[in-house]
């Protein structure tokens, strides 16, 4: 069942790619995608390395201890959507919108941890997920704000 879920997630991500990487902000979306992939991989490598989370069912089990589908595809695509959703917002609205991502991710991971073998929490909880999702969302959003300022400075 878990392998089918992962294959479905890969399919969903691949199908969404053309819709997320079109238009005038493609370069920025690619920067978001790849920087979130790096950030998610680093955070997840730390979490797995300190034995807080384990991925019993994952692709490339002999090569990776983390689930690279989450780190390099799913979370980066969600971050592209997140940046699009909050692109023109001020800090207060960004904080509120972040809850529409971090709360469902926390509840969803809690549900999947209890009902599947996709991951196993050892020293982890929905609050840790909430904190790590929020941290990475704000880090990427701050990175985009920095890129925008640098572009304005360059074009001035």
Domain layout of the chain by residue ranges = 2-155
pLDDT per residue over 33-68, tens digit each? 999 999 999 999 999 999 999 999 999 999 999 999
pLDDT per residue over 98-114, tens digit each? 999 999 999 999 999 99
Q: What is the DSSP code string of the chain?
A: -HHHHHHHHHHHHHHHHHHHS-STTHHHHHHHHHHHHHHHHHHHHHHHHTTSEE-SS-SSTTT-SS-HHIIIIIHHHHHHHHHHHHTT--HHHHHHHHHHHHHHHHHHHHHHHHH-SS-EESS--HHHHHHHHHHHHHHHHHHHHHHHHHHHHHH-
Model confidence at 156, pLDDT cuts 50, 70, 90, reads low
């Amino acid at each position: 069942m878990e392998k089918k879920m992962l294959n479905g997630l890969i399919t969903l991500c691949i199908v969404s790619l053309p819709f997320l990487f079109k238009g005038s902000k493609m370069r920025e979306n690619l920067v978001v995608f790849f920087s979130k992939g790096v950030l998610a991989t680093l955070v997840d490598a730390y979490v797995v390395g300190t034995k807080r989370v384990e991925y019993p069912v994952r692709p490339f089990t002999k090569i990776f201890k983390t689930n690279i589908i989450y780190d390099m595809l799913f979370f980066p695509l969600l971050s592209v959507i997140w940046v699009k959703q909050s692109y023109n917002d001020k800090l207060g609205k960004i904080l509120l919108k972040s809850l529409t991502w971090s709360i469902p991710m926390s509840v969803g991971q809690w549900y999947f941890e209890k009902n599947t073998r996709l991951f196993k929490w050892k020293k982890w909880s929905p609050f840790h997920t909430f904190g790590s999702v929020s941290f990475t969302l704000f880090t990427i959003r701050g990175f985009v704000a920095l890129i925008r300022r640098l572009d304005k400075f360059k074009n001035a």
